[in-house]
Amino acid sequence: MKVLLAMSGGVDSSVAGALLLEEGHDVVGVTMKLWGGDSDTGCCSVSDVDDARRVAQQLGIDHLVFNFGDDFDRHVVEPYVRDHAAGVTPNPCIECNRHVKFDRLLRRADQLGFDAVATGHHARIGRTADGRLTLERGADAAKDQSYVVHMLDQDALARTLFPVGSIDKSEVRRIAAERGLRTASKPDSQDVCFITSTGGRDTFLGDRIEFRPARVVDADGEQLGAVDAVEMVTIGQRRGIGLPGGGPKRYVVDVDVDGATVTVGDEQALLDDGLSVVDVVWTDAPVAGEVLVQASAHGATLPATLTVGPTASATGDTVAVAWRTPQRRIAPGQSVVFYDPTDTRVLGGGIAVRATTVRLGPPTA
């Protein structure tokens, strides 16, 4: 099989290449040039591209660089800025996977005559008894990345390979060291590539939008403090919201950008009975009923019931999630992923939208 291997410059994609070659595939490595600005974190630095190129040399495969900067700006950076300006908390790495690292790369692979695209994600692709493809958690539970690739449907899964998804991370590093790959001991990348460690999110957004101060109020509307930038506040936040120390624990339960108001409350006020999820993409057919729901990359899955809305947009279904027991509110803009009751198989996922209710309770010390 002719395989286009996405090489980020990390150990996982490096070992993915070695395993593909062992299986007899015709492999070509590619590194995607995405962010053209300053980058000292994530997977877009100059050193990462150099590592990918050098590993390709070690593996004896060709290495290409695709400039997808325009796609990255349009689908990742610009929405990231717009969302913050609207008081929404986006997940740029998932949007990069959705629009660039899979959709855009798969289309380029098709144009060049490749049979499949491979990445170093820790996830697995299986098949049901009737031949339908499944997206499943990686073998290493601590490194599982099925959450961040939940948007892959049947068509994408049929043209995707996850060579390291069935082995533990320790085994990945052992294979890399055994083969002398330069990335064997390289730390994992965790950060957003276009947010520098020196400037941070405040600097990046402050250069692109005008921050607006906001009141911090309780559920009765009484002002308790103030923040310098309402656009930087997110649901569930406790620190950095302009409140004096020593009082009861308070958390952000609502962000009203237009009204320049941040509402805070105790932990009880953070709880919701459910939420709405839009732009839902299903791995296969839509699913209703009892599922498990995960709302952060390494968060716990929680039992809930899904109801699929009667209408769908061009970008996916709308789903109502009813928690079995009330749970902390999920910030609008975050990805919400549905797993089967065994907690092993991805069913689909979408984007949380703003909650409409606030559960009030007495202050908590």
**CATH class of residue range 270-352:** mainly beta
Q: What is the mean pLDDT of residues 110-121?
A: 98
Residue 191 has pLDDT above 80, yes or no: no
Q: What is the mean pLDDT of residues 281-292?
A: 96
Write down the CATH superfamily of domain 2-178: HUPs (3.40.50.620)
5 and 60 Cβ atoms separated by less than 8 Å: no
Distance between CA atoms of residues 73 and 11, nearest Å: 26
| Amino acid present at 204 | F
Comma-separated ranges of CATH 2.40.30.10 domains in the chain = 270-352
211, HSE (Cβ side, Cα atoms, 13 Å): 16
Confidence (pLDDT) at 310: 78
pLDDT digits (tens, 9 = 90+) for 75-102: 999 999 999 999 999 999 999 999 999 9
Confidence (pLDDT) at 234: 95
Given the candidates 2.30.30.280, 3.40.50.1820, 3.30.300.20, 1.10.3720.10, the CATH classification of the domain at 210-265 is: 2.30.30.280
Q: Comparing 25-29, 40-44, 229-233, which segment has the lowest mean pLDDT? A: 40-44
Distance between CA atoms of residues 127 and 160, nearest Å: 13
Comma-separated ranges of CATH 3.40.50.620 domains in the chain = 2-178
Q: What is the mean pLDDT of residues 285-292?
A: 96
Distance between CA atoms of residues 108 and 149, nearest Å: 19
Active site residues: 96, 193
Q: Comparing 144-148, 259-263, 346-350, 361-365, which segment has the lowest mean pLDDT? A: 361-365
Confidence (pLDDT) at 361: 39
Distance between CA atoms of residues 322 and 198, nearest Å: 41
Confidence (pLDDT) at 36: 77
Distance between CA atoms of residues 153 and 327, nearest Å: 29
> What is the value of pTM for the model shown?
0.92
pLDDT band at 41 (very low <50, low <70, confident <90, very high): low
Residue 68 has pLDDT above 50, yes or no: yes
Q: How many CB atoms lie within 10 A of CB 339?
A: 23
Mean pLDDT across the chain, nearest whole number?
A: 92
More confident residue, 195 or 347: 347
Q: What is the mean pLDDT of residues 189-193?
A: 78
Q: What is the mean pLDDT of residues 130-153?
A: 97
Residue 176 has pLDDT above 90, yes or no: yes
